[in-house]
């Protein structure tokens, strides 16, 4: 498979966008998501127990829900991206260890695995995610 320089650039820009998302989440910088998603984005975390909504609704959800965790990391890999002009689709694997703490401070790590299914669009400000769906792979059935 031979890629044009434009498609190589698009793929690198999309990969950087995926990384920016992880850094924003893991540093709890919810406003940084404004540079990851389009203003009219739809974000669906329902398969992993979250919400489905707009960017503003998602930022509010993340601010509240992620406060319940002492720590977490989003490790992405194995992205399959298909670029078609000014749009692209992608499916990216994510392994997500999360730390909970009980009222006595005892910590427990649990692991989540899922894929991000994304619709990317080229905007005047570069590539952005217009639609994101978390597709569950594995998730603990109970903690403790």
Report d(CA 93, CA 77) in Å as an integer: 5
Position 82 scores a pLDDT of: 95
Compute the chain's Rg from CA coordinates.
Answer: 16
- State the pLDDT at residue 129: 98
Here the tokens at position 48 are: 């992993």
Task: Sort strands 52-53 and 37-44 into parallel, antiparallel or unpaired.
Answer: antiparallel
Q: What is the pLDDT of residue 70?
A: 87
Q: What is the pLDDT of residue 141?
A: 61
3-state SS assignment for residue 19: helix
6 class by beta-carbon count within 10 Å (0-12 exposed, 13-18 middle, 19+ buried): exposed
> What is the per-residue pLDDT for 142?
55
Domains delineated in the chain: 5-138 (3.10.450.50)
144 residues of the chain, pLDDT tens digit each: 788 899 999 999 999 999 999 999 999 999 999 999 999 999 999 999 899 999 999 999 999 999 988 889 999 999 999 999 999 999 999 999 999 888 887 888 889 999 999 999 999 999 999 999 999 999 876 555
């Amino acid at each position: 498979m031979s890629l044009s320089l434009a498609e190589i650039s698009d793929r690198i820009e999309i990969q950087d966008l995926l990384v920016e998302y992880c850094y924003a989440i893991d540093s709890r910088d919810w406003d940084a998501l404004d540079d990851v998603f389009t203003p009219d984005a739809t974000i669906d975390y329902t398969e992993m127990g979250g919400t489905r909504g707009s960017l503003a609704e998602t930022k509010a959800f993340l601010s509240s829900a992620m406060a319940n965790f002492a720590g977490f990391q989003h490790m992405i890999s194995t992205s399959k991206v298909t670029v078609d002009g000014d749009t692209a689709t992608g499916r990216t694997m994510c392994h997500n260890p999360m730390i909970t703490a009980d009222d006595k401070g005892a910590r427990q790590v649990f692991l989540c695995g899922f894929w991000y299914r994304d619709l990317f669009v080229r905007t005047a400000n570069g590539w952005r995610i217009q639609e994101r769906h978390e597709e569950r792979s594995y998730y603990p059935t109970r903690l403790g």
